[in-house]
């Protein structure tokens, strides 16, 4: 049996700075702990609603709060982290440290699925902190290309951790002893695909370019695309994007007319940006329909954006149709 490299061994040879690697290790440890908490949710009585809503005006699950606290505690205990921001927190939190890094995260993406035992995950982004001063909210408002690392954990049949630091994308699997073992050394997304992920129940609310793109896919070989497509939709961004990382595909969460004043559903700083960095480093593309997501200048902490990402040629086609 081949001996697999563990996370510490991989980090030792990764060309990112030692400080970045130390923060990644802290987040990875928190994700391993979250994996245990998620797996025992029903046993410990942690399923179901918490009876309150978060800053996003979304009903919080008990595990949203528990997993958020696990990450907060881990990051507050890391002297290299000066501040953090979460989907579950209205404002940023500072740790008392100065310099180093800022971390943004969605502690339990797809938590609406947790009660029915469908894959959920944690998404995180690491940004440079300002030197010499405590960070403010404005310091978090950096374009995605300023990220020094990003990653996600997916809690599914196996718990996996997907990372990008200085270059490329790798994936680790959590073993029975709580160690992250390198199982995917070079993750690459195929440029072409015949699979898309979108919530078809919202079709009537989409803008014309998205509707036109999906119509072309649904027409199969007889239509303008000349090939048959399959649809997959988990309603957990981590699960849907992880599938694309592993076998190609395109993920779309577009603007729709139900809430016309909201540009999109997904949050830029702790969902769209980290996932876009991972996808681009794996050879894919991402766009809000007009601009590459990683080039967007954030204007507020909980900013929402439309998201299209995945196999490069399909994302390019969506962007082209939106530009017509």
Query: Which parts are annotated binding residues for substrate?
Result: 109-112, 199, 265
> What residues are paired with 286 via a beta bridge?
309
- The string of DSSP letters for 259-287 reads STTSS-SEEIIIIIHHHHHHHHHTT-EEE
C-alpha 62/C-alpha 81 separation (Å) is: 26
- Residue 290, classified by CB atoms within 10 Å of its CB into exposed (0-12), middle (13-18) or buried (19+), is exposed
Rounded to whole angstroms, how far apart are CA atoms 319 and 53? 35
Q: Which residue positions form the known binding site for Mg(2+)?
A: 87, 106, 108-109, 271
Binding residues: 87, 106, 108-112, 199, 265, 271
* Among the listed residues 210, 274, 192, 213, the one whose alpha carbon sits nearest the alpha carbon of residue 241: 274
Neighbours of 218 (CB within 10 A): 15
Contact 164, 151 (CB under 8 A): yes
């Amino acid at each position: 049996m081949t001996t697999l490299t563990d996370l510490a061994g991989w980090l030792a040879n990764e060309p990112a700075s030692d400080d970045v690697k130390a923060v990644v290790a802290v987040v990875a440890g928190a994700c391993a702990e979250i994996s245990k908490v998620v797996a025992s949710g029903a046993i410990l009585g942690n399923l179901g609603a918490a009876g309150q809503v978060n800053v996003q005006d979304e009903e919080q699950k008990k595990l949203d709060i528990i997993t958020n606290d696990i990450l907060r505690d881990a990051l507050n205990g890391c002297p290299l982290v000066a501040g953090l921001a979460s989907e579950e927190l209205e404002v940023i939190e500072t740790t008392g440290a100065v310099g180093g890094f800022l971390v943004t995260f969605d502690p339990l993406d797809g938590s609406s699925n947790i009660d029915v035992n469908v894959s959920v995950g944690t998404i995180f982004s690491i940004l440079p902190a300002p030197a010499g001063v405590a960070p403010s909210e404005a310091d978090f408002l950096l374009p995605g290309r300023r990220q020094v690392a990003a990653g996600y954990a997916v809690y599914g049949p196996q718990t996996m951790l997907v990372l990008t630091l200085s270059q490329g994308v790798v994936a680790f699997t959590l073993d029975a002893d709580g160690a992250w073992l390198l199982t995917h050394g070079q993750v690459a997304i195929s440029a072409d695909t015949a699979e898309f992920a979108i919530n078809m129940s919202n079709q009537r609310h989409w803008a014309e370019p998205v509707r036109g793109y999906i119509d072309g896919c649904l027409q199969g070989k007889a239509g303008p695309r000349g090939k048959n497509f399959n649809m997959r939709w988990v309603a957990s961004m981590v699960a849907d994007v992880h599938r694309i990382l592993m076998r190609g595909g395109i993920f779309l969460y577009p603007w729709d007319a139900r809430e016309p004043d909201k540009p999109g559903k997904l949050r830029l700083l702790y969902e769209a940006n980290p996932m876009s960095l991972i996808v681009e480093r794996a050879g894919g593309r991402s766009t809000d329909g007009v601009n590459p997501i990683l080039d967007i200048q954030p204007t507020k902490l909980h900013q929402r954006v439309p998201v299209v990402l995945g196999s490069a040629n399909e994302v390019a086609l969506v962007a082209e149709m939106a530009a017509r």
